Every structure is written in structure tokens, then in C-alpha cells.
Amino acid sequence: HHMNILLGENENWVAIDPKGVVGEAAFEVGALMLNPVPNLVHWPDLEEVQEQRLTILAEELRIEQEQLASWSFVRAVLSAVWSLGDGQDWNYGINVAEVLRELI
């Protein structure tokens, strides 16, 4: 998540707490699409914001926008499942997933 990317002393960005995983690069975008928690789902223009994010990310990462939206949807549902498993409110992840589903 974006709280693990910090501006270092030499003005370079540094990733902390990395996880060694192998998989689809587009999956990583999902964490960004869920943030900022918990305010994101209250934005009146959420679908427009998410679409703009996907457009920018698709261009910069050279990954199809539909692929980014699909993996972000999966990540949002997974977030809801994790929250449910932890006894927390799972609605946040589902609300984000519903918006992303419309963008696939």
C-alpha cells in the first residue's frame, strides 16, 4: 500500500516492507485503487476518479485499462474477504469493488 513508499533523505522514493511475490503486475494497482481508506468511498465523483486513475496508470504502466480494472476489482473483493476474516467491516472493499466492476 502507499504507506510503504517513503521519500528518502536523498529525495529518492524508497519502498519498505517488500513482499516477494510472483504474479500479474496489474494486481499491484489494486492497493492504490482502494486508497485513501476510509474516505475514498465517500467521494461524490468516485467512479470518475477511479476511471481517471485507471487511464493514467494504463498509460504509464503500459497495461490495458480493462486488465487494471479487473485486477483492482479482484483486489477490492479480496480486501473485503480479509476484513471479514478479521472480524472487521467488509463493506468498504465491496463498495470499491462495485465501482470498479462498472469500469471493466
Confidence category of residue 99, pLDDT binned at 50, 70, 90: very high
Q: Rounded CA gap, 29 and 71, in Å? A: 8
How do residues 4-56 score in pLDDT, each as one tens digit? Answer: 888 888 888 888 887 777 889 999 899 999 998 888 999 999 999 999 999 99
DSSP string covering 35-88, please?
-STTTGGG-TTHHHHHHHHHHHHHHHHT--HHHHHHHHHHHHHHHHHHHHHTTS
Is a pLDDT exceeding 70 seen at residue 1?
no
Confidence category of residue 103, pLDDT binned at 50, 70, 90: very high
Q: Residue 33's pLDDT is what?
A: 96
User: By CB neighbour count within 10 A (0-12 exposed, 13-18 middle, 19+ buried), where does 48 fall?
Assistant: exposed
Q: Say how many C-beta atoms besides its own lie within 10 A of residue 54's C-beta.
A: 23
**Of 37, 66, 45, the residue nearest 54 (C-alpha):** 66
